[in-house]
């Protein structure tokens, strides 16, 4: 284990309870700077719930979530996003009635420099800020490879392209750490391969990544470390090769052979 200093996201004894249902029992793990960590587990293991807690969409019943030096418990989603911890959603999540370019412009919101008065008076700062945002939007679209779709309505994009646009939106919010919720579900092999290269590029540019994914091949290929969740508990943690042979993990995914009486 490396020193405590380079830990970016740390989850300490987090539990989430919905009435009588224990969605997350006791979760403790951390993500280090520049890592790609895969969070896996069977359906209903609590992966998306965990994401919702980290990003402020759900309150943890107990425990603390810490991002760099800030405790995230009680912060609103937009406040957490502004700290640099940005997520994508499991379902395709884009602004359907806007063009691809318009979507990224919305995503660039926090990078704008103009105040309300600049907007109402149409000042030079307003025009400069808008120009900067447009250039940034262009760059992001080129990065994810959607520049040829700039003027298409998001609703008219193919499924895989919508997922890419979801990623572009998250990138527009200038993340220092990205949480990807099942980013390649529904993508074909070629699209997945391209997505993996993108994720690696994003990490190489200095962004830490935590991803939830069911495509095991993808997770094992891209992750530096894998955390396995089952029934709201962490049952294993380690490098992909080790996780693949962990008996506990195999049991969680395939079930246990019935013991003879």
Partner 1 sequence: MRFIPWLLVAALASVPLWMTDYYYLHVLIVTGIFIIAAMSLNLLLGYTGQLSLGHVAFFGIGAYTSALISLGFKVHIAPDTVVGLSPKPVWFAMLCAVFVTGIVGYGIGKLSFRVRGAYFVIVSLSFVSVVQLIALNWVELTQGAMALNSIPPLTLGFGEYTISFLRKPQFFYLMLSAAVLSYIIIARLVNSRAGRAMIALRENESLATSLGIDVTRYLVLATVVSAAIAGLAGALYTHYIRIVDPNIFLFIYTVTMIIMVVTGGKGTLAGPIVGGVVFGVVPEVLRAMKIAPEMQWIVYGVLMIAIVYFLPQGIVPAVRRAFASHRSVFAGSSTLIEKAEEQ
Q: Where along the sequence are the contacts to partner 1 (CB under 8 A)?
A: 55, 57, 76-78, 81-82, 86-89, 93-98, 102, 105-107, 109-110, 112, 114, 116, 119-120, 122, 126, 129-130, 133, 156, 169-170, 172-173
Q: Are 85 and 55 in contact (CB under 8 A)?
A: yes
Which 3 state secondary structure label does DSSP give 193?
Answer: helix
Q: What Cα–Cα distance (Å) separates residue 159 from each residue in 106, 186, 191, 214?
A: 20, 7, 10, 17
Q: Which token pair is 178?
A: 């990205």
Nearer to partner 1, 13 or 113 (CB): 113
Least CB distance from residue 22 to partner 1, whole Å? 24
Q: Which residues contact 6 (CB under 8 A, 6 or more apart)?
A: 32, 33, 34
Nearer to partner 1, 32 or 149 (CB): 149
Q: Which token pair is 64?
A: 């603390």
Nearer to partner 1, 59 or 78 (CB): 78
Residue 236 CB coordination number (10 Å): 19
Q: Are 26 and 233 in contact (CB under 8 A)?
A: yes
Nearer to partner 1, 61 or 99 (CB): 99
Least CB distance from residue 166 to partner 1, whole Å? 8
Nearer to partner 1, 161 or 213 (CB): 161
Nearer to partner 1, 127 or 251 (CB): 127
Handedness of CA 247, 253, 254, 255 (dihedral sign): positive
**Helices H / strands E in the chain, number of each:** 10, 10
Q: What Cα–Cα distance (Å) separates residue 211 from each residue in 19, 43, 96, 118, 220?
A: 27, 15, 24, 39, 11
- The phi and psi torsions of 205 (rounded to 5 degrees) equal -80, 0
Least CB distance from residue 72 to partner 1, whole Å? 14
């Amino acid at each position: 284990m490396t020193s405590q200093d380079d830990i970016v996201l740390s989850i300490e004894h987090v539990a989430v309870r919905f009435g009588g249902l224990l969605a997350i029992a006791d979760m403790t793990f951390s993500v280090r700077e520049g890592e790609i960590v895969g969070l896996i587990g069977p359906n209903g293991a609590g992966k998306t719930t965990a994401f919702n807690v980290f990003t402020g969409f759900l309150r943890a019943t107990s425990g603390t979530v810490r991002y760099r030096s800030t405790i995230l418990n009680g912060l609103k989603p937009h406040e957490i996003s502004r700290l640099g911890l940005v997520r994508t959603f499991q379902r395709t999540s884009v602004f359907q009635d806007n063009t691809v370019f318009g979507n990224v412009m919305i995503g660039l919101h926090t990078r704008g420099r103009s105040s309300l008065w600049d907007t109402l008076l149409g000042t030079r700062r307003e025009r400069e800020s808008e120009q900067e945002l447009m250039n940034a939007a262009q760059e992001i679209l080129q990065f994810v490879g959607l520049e040829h779709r700039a003027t298409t309505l998001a609703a008219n994009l193919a499924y895989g392209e919508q997922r890419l646009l979801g990623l572009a939106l998250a990138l527009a919010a200038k993340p220092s750490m990205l949480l990807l919720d099942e980013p390649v579900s529904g993508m074909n092999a070629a699209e997945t391969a391209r997505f993996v290269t993108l994720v690696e590029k994003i990490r190489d540019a200095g962004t830490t990544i935590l991803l939830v994914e069911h495509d095991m091949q993808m997770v094992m290929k891209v992750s530096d470390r894998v955390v396995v969740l089952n029934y709201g508990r962490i049952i294993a943690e380690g490098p992909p090769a080790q996780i693949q042979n962990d008996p506990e993990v195999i049991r969680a995914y395939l079930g246990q052979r019935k013991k003879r009486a």
